[in-house]
Amino acid sequence: MNEIYVTGHRNPDTDSIVAAMAYAHLRQALGDRDYTAVRIGAINDETQKLLDRFGMEPPPLIKNMRTQVRDLDFDRPPALNSSVTLDLAWRTMQEGSISVLPIVHEDGTLYSILSAGDIAAYDMQTLAHNRIDDLPLFNLLSVLEGNLVNEFGTNASTISGELFIALPQNYEDPALTRPDTILICGNQPELIQRAIDAGVNCLIICRSDICPEWAEAGRDTVIISTPLSARRVSRVIYQALPVERIIKKKDIVAFHLDTYLDDVKETMLESRYHSYPILDEQDRVVGTLSRFHLLRPRRKRVVLVDHNEAAQSVPGLEQAEILEIIDHHRLADIQTGQPIHVRNEPVGSTNTILTSMYSEYGIMPPPKIAGLMAGAILSDTVMFKSPTCTKRDIAMAQRLARIANVSLEELGKSLFSFSTDKSTEELFKTDYKQFHISGQNIAVSQITCGDSQPLLDRREEFLELMRRVKAEQEYDLVLLMITDVLKEGTFLLYVGSDEVIRQAFNANPADNQVFLPDVMSRKKQIIPMLTALWG
């Protein structure tokens, strides 16, 4: 319930994944156990390669931050078995000041819902009739606080019959001594003997001494003694029925813990129930939900790393509570309902900022985490060749490499040994981001490698995919940066206006392609140029 999710952006790169892991580890090292690293996209080959090298598992995948039933402060009343008595159910409601109880099977799965109104409605119905059928004897003894008087009663499982109270004025009523009778009486030895001789189905003796001979008599009669009064017995006997006898099992509306709040509201608008059972992944009942629980929902809490733009963040972010942002990109459009901690610095990697934070808190990252962070800095700065790279990035990467006992040069080369044995779409989505700039919607994908030729050989495949993406997503411009570390430049493939490319990058494109020397960074060399053009 108190979990705080640390997440990078969609289609996460190495810096994004490692930043989430590193920050969650830092908070946990400081005693904040609620922080959990997550991801909102697939792990790319480069990141997986780095994780495998240091023996680390990727963060779990989450689909969105929409509020779910599990995030609400719902009720957790006792869940009663369908065989319990109405008396026990009513007492449970009274003791807990609740009006609805979930009724479950033996395995904890939902049987039905019992409300105080159900019990009251049944109680009123008993005023119009006085017959009871197949009442479990064990239940009856429990409700009456009674004891069996004769041995015959030990062989009976249920009782049935017309219910009568033996009053002086109706002693001679033949119904009192019919076999199909449940007779309630007091200290009335003569009538009791007549009832036993007649073989009534059940004889309930209230507040009376028991004659020893009755224990040997009554071969056809269940004889029960109780400390309750006859009037009290006449009412509570109906409460000995199992709850399954009076509740409906059809048309039960229930929600699961993973059900989204929006869907809950829609369902509640279409129904009139006061309370709804909540089920876990195994369909076991874990609580109940009412309309007032929706008034102040407890939102998911999230820390954003390596981004601060809504289009790049987790779906449903508007329903979450943002606690903190740690980033090295331009400030974008994310809004919060209250002041938060924001750390935004002009460096080449989010992990450079996090390395400083570890140092400020006096905590040394363990070798595996340090190795991941060093690799992330190398990845985001393209082995320190990106114009976004600063002296701090280099210094922090060197510090982390010493902790992890790795060579930065060897680590960088292993990261950028790129495999093209993938579909065009998989390659294109490796590091893919969307931007909204001055009314223009654009998509920019970047593939960083040590040898660009295998990718350029598939140029037409990429352009065909980009045209389809542009049409389906209604983009104004779609770009693919094939960044060659060794050539220290980027082959830019584009689908959109030739004039935009010509003016933005002062280049002469041909056949939807242009080479941009010394361009290594999407953040600092592509997006700013387009922003300046359209701004």
What domains does the chain contain, in order, with CATH numbers?
A: 4-67+300-415 (3.90.1640.10), 424-534 (3.10.310.20)
Phi, psi of 534 (to 5 degrees): -85, -20
Cα atoms found within 13 Å of the Cα of residue 50, Cβ hemisphere only: 34
Q: Do β-strands 202-206 and 181-185 pair in parallel, antiparallel, or remain unpaired?
A: parallel
pTM: 0.66
Instruction: Give pairs for 523-528: CB < 8 Å, separation 24+.
Output: 523/329, 523/330, 523/388, 524/386, 524/387, 524/388, 525/387, 526/444, 526/479, 526/481, 527/330, 527/435, 527/437, 527/444
d(CA 441, CA 430): 20
Q: What is the pLDDT along the chain (535 residues), one digit of tens a residue?
A: 589 999 999 989 999 999 999 999 999 999 999 999 999 999 988 899 999 999 999 999 999 999 999 988 899 999 999 989 999 999 999 998 988 999 999 999 999 999 898 898 888 888 877 888 999 989 999 999 999 888 776 677 888 998 988 887 777 777 788 888 999 999 888 888 888 888 888 999 999 888 888 877 767 789 999 999 999 998 899 999 999 988 877 678 999 999 999 999 999 988 888 889 999 999 999 999 998 888 888 889 999 999 998 888 999 999 999 999 999 998 888 888 889 999 999 999 999 999 999 999 999 999 999 999 999 999 999 899 888 899 999 999 999 999 999 999 999 888 887 666 788 998 898 888 899 888 899 999 999 887 889 999 999 999 999 999 999 999 999 999 999 887 889 999 999 999 999 999 999 999 999 999 999 889 889 999 999 988 7
DSSP annotation of 207 reads S
Q: Which of 434, 333, 322, 323 is nearest to 41 (CA)?
A: 434
Q: Are 377 and 349 in contact (CB under 8 A)?
A: yes
Q: Are 312 and 62 in contact (CB under 8 A)?
A: no
What tokens does 216 get? 């040997």
